[in-house]
Structure 1
Amino acid sequence: MQPRIFIGKVIKKNREIHKITQANLAERCSLSLVSISKFERNITEPSFATIIKLAKAFEMEVSEFVREIEEGLEMVHTPD
């Protein structure tokens, strides 16, 4: 089994807590709306530089945001 990180869940949860749209979050992070949508749907994962931007947009310490991501780890079975 390998850990799979569902960063999208953390991004969406924080976005909803702050009551901001994907478009507003994209603007705050200087990213495209498509990028935010793909992150939330776990199609792509943000770079560390983007994680820093997201944390700042949510007015969080980067370590706090990363901790939330770590807590969202889920073990999934991957075929050998």
Structure 2
Amino acid sequence: MTLAKVFGKVLKQRREALNLSQEELAFEAGLHRTYISLLERGVKSPTLNVLFRLAEALDIPPSQFIQKIEVQLKTLELYEDSED
């Protein structure tokens, strides 16, 4: 799984935990709904500016948001290593 896909997974999990639609998140972050969809599917990767805007809209510090991505990546690495 690519970094963009892991980012998208974490983004979607956080958005859904807050019961926000893609449209509501897009509005709060000043982005377009289709861009949120592309991010969640791992088609696009966010810029640093977008990451900070999303974190603010999701009411989470950017560092904690990145930490959640790191945890997902580590979990994925452990899973892939166990398959070898």
Could you tell me the TM-score, scaled by structure 1's length? 0.85
Question: Residue in 1 aligned with 2:2?
Answer: 4
- AA of the residue aligned to 1:40: E
Q: How many pairs are equivalent?
A: 74
Q: Which has the higher strand share?
A: 1
Matches within 5 A, 1:21-40: 21-40=21-40
Distance in structure 1 (CA, Å) of the matches to 2:17 and 2:39: 17
Question: Residue in 1 aligned with 2:16?
Answer: 16
| Residue segments in structure 1 that go unaligned for 5+ positions in a row | none
Identity of aligned residues (%): 31
Matches within 5 A, 1:1-80: 4-5=2-3, 6-73=6-73, 74-75=76-77
| Residue segments in structure 2 that go unaligned for 5+ positions in a row | none
Deviation, 1:4, is: 2.7
Deviation, 1:46, is: 0.8
CA-based RMSD of the aligned residues comes to 1.5
Could you tell me the TM-score, scaled by structure 2's length? 0.81
Q: Which has the higher contact order (CA 8 A, sep 6+)?
A: 1
Deviation, 1:26, is: 0.3
Moved over 4 A (4+): none
